[in-house]
Amino acid sequence: MTTSLSPGQRMGEAVHAGDITPFIGVYDVFSAGLADRHYDALFLSGFGFAASYYGLPDIGFITWTDIVSYVHRIRTVLPAHHLLVDIDDGYTDPEVACHVVSILEGAGASGVVLEDQKRPRRCGHFDGKQIMELDEYLAKLKQVLATRRELFVIARTDSSDRAEIERRVLAFVEAGADAVLVDGLTSLETVRQLSAQAGRPFCFNQIAGGKSPAYTLTELREAGVKLVIYSTPCLFSAQAAIDDALVELKKADGSLSGSRIGVKDCTQILSENLARRDATNL
């Protein structure tokens, strides 16, 4: 990896040089420290952050200051990973979106996903979403693109109308977005057609139990996808594991003898994070 490049440049090179890049969704710094053992590209999921930090659904509670702090904490312990950040609609108006993008780039973010939902927003795989007028979104997208330096910008549409999706994808490309994402697609053939029309890296979002079928990387690669976001595997796995562990604790009359992870295992992750932080600060 060429360390002289910015995080955004490194991500751009990786996306264009590779056949497909999976981004693993994390929900806090600890889950990022676990995911980094398996993948070098992480997605800082809004769904996961809202659940972890606020204990609330992802419907617009996230503030940009909290996201910036979150990115900074992860970048401190993971200096070399690709960090793709979910910034919803840029947190309201274009001026705020540009401010956030500028600060995130300074904090070490590699890329952002900017969506065209109106507020109150909803998870992309739920019904009831409201979509901005295209001109309104394009004005914001163009200002963000003019503000960023090397940050990788993915333009996302939540439209469900096929003709409108095509219109927006082409408009995003014309505006200069580095990649495009259409959330909630249900057909691999639609993915194939849209990725071919875009002529720009095409991003696909996968979430367990969501609207999109569970495609393999091979299937998505063959359909022309270059980036795959896995929004919530860490969060959902943690929910299942915590619930199972507490059920077992009750069954075992409070005995921890069956625990798979012990204090040494957990401390190993934390020590690795500390060592990376200290090495970065030398």
Does a structural domain hold residue 278? no
Does a structural domain hold residue 41? yes
The 8-class DSSP code of residue 250 comes to: H
Does a structural domain hold residue 96? yes
What's the whole-model pTM score? 0.94
Q: Of the ranges 67-76, 81-90, 153-162, 252-261, which one carries the lowest mean pLDDT score?
A: 252-261
Predicted confidence (pLDDT) per residue in 80-98, tens digit: 999 999 999 999 899 999 9
Tell me the percentage of the chain whose pLDDT exceeds 90. Answer: 82
Number of domains in the chain: 1
- CA-wise closest residue to 88 among 132, 146, 35, 28: 132
Q: At what angle do helices 64-77 and 94-107 cross, to 10 degrees?
A: 20
Rounded to an integer, what distance in angstroms lies between the CA atom of residue 31 and that of residue 167? 37
pLDDT at 123: 60
- Residues making up the chain, counted from first to last: 282
Predicted confidence (pLDDT) per residue in 31-88, tens digit: 999 999 999 999 999 999 999 999 999 888 899 999 999 999 999 999 999 999 999 9
Residue 228 corresponds to which amino acid?
V
Does a structural domain hold residue 31? yes
* Parent domain of 123: 7-241
Rounded to an integer, what distance in angstroms lies between the CA atom of residue 112 and that of residue 201? 14
Contact in structure between 148 and 105 (CB atoms under 8 Å): yes
Predicted confidence (pLDDT) per residue in 3-33, tens digit: 589 999 999 999 999 899 999 999 999 999 9
pLDDT at 280: 76
If you search the block for the tokens 């408009």, which residue do you land on?
A: 171
Does a structural domain hold residue 211? yes
Q: Which residue has the higher pLDDT, 127 or 214?
A: 214
